[in-house]
Every structure is written in C-alpha cells, then in structure tokens.
Structure 1
Amino acid sequence: MPLPTMYILQVDFPSSGPFGDSMAAEYRELAESINHEPGMIWKIWTENSEAGEAGGIYLFESEATARKYLAKHTERLQDWGVTDIRGRVFAVNEPLSAINRAPLGRDAN
C-alpha cells in the first residue's frame, strides 16, 4: 500500500532581521518548539538579508497539518507585526523527488 502524500509548506515574509548567527540564537527556542507541531517532519529555515526576507520550507505528513500550521504561524507572525506573509502548500511528488535526493525521510528528526 502506498504511503500517504506528503506536503511542502513554503512561507516567506519581509524581515529586517535578525539573520545568521543572531537569528539562530534568538529563535532557538521557537525552532525547538516547531519539532512538536503535529505532522511536521522537518523544516529548513531561510533568510536573505540583502532582500530583507525570511521564512522556511517545511515537510508535513498531510495537507491538513500543513494548513493548520500555516494558520498558526501566520497568526504568530502577525502578532509580531509582520505583514505580507506568503504561505503556499504543495503536494510532494515522491518518485521524482527521490531521483533528485530529496530528504523525504519520515523519520528525519
């Protein structure tokens, strides 16, 4: 029986920082808490200090858990005064992604 489809959540938003090591230090506790989000398999944190953007790429077990987290994260960012938040959910094509060595391990934690 095939595994259920996994979903990528892509989030980005304008950010004036922090970036780099400062970001890692400031958001460590948040990063640790994200590991406990239902259905979350992994997250890659993204940043572009030159463009003034930050965000992340997440892998979730289901579309429902990805969308639920997007709603929660959007609310959190808005509470921090962040606007222009872009969140998109995509189904993962696992056979093609595997050819290109995508880290799709469901036990990647």
Structure 2
Amino acid sequence: MGSRRAAWSVVLGVLATVTLPAAIAATRYSSSFDLLHAGFAIPVALVAGVGAVVLAQRARAIDRATLGRDTSGKAATWGRSLGILGLCLAVSATISIAVYGVLMAAD
C-alpha cells in the first residue's frame, strides 16, 4: 500500500517540477501566448507539489509502521524532494508575477 503511495508521490513530484518549465517553453514557441500566460500553470504545480509531499509522508508512515517491510523509503524520499522542488518553483513564479504586477502598477 505504501509503495503505491510512494510511486504516485514520485509521479506528482515530477509533474510539479516539470509543469512550469514546460509552460514557459510552450510560451516561447507560441505566437499567441506571452510569458505571463505561463502563470496559469502555477496552481497545477502547487497542487501536484502538495500532493507529492503528502503522499510521501503517508508512504513513510506506512513504512515505519511495518518496520521497513514496505520498502517504499527511497521512492518516498524522491517524491518528497521533487514535490518540494515543484513547490519552490511555484512559489518563485508567484513572487515574480507579483513583482511584475507591482512594477506595472507603478508605471
């Protein structure tokens, strides 16, 4: 049971980490979208990052409860790390959009 949670944690962590760079790359090669439109990917990265961290914590709790017989420790660690990285990317993108908004309002 914990290994499935750990595996989904890795999947969500990868999704959280890749979402914003993929959105930025998509705006670079699109003529109809600006870089600011990549901001719509921030909630996806936030939800996936939080989901990855929560699932990793639950997988680790199951691993501890079964005295290590669940063998999902490394996958849970990867999922948690990728989820935190995705959250950091989403927070930094949110800060950059907020600063852009403040600078544009000051004009």
Report the TM-score, using the length of structure 2 for normalisation.
0.28
Q: Which has the higher strand share?
A: 1
**Larger-gyration structure (1/2):** 2
Q: Which has the higher helix share?
A: 2
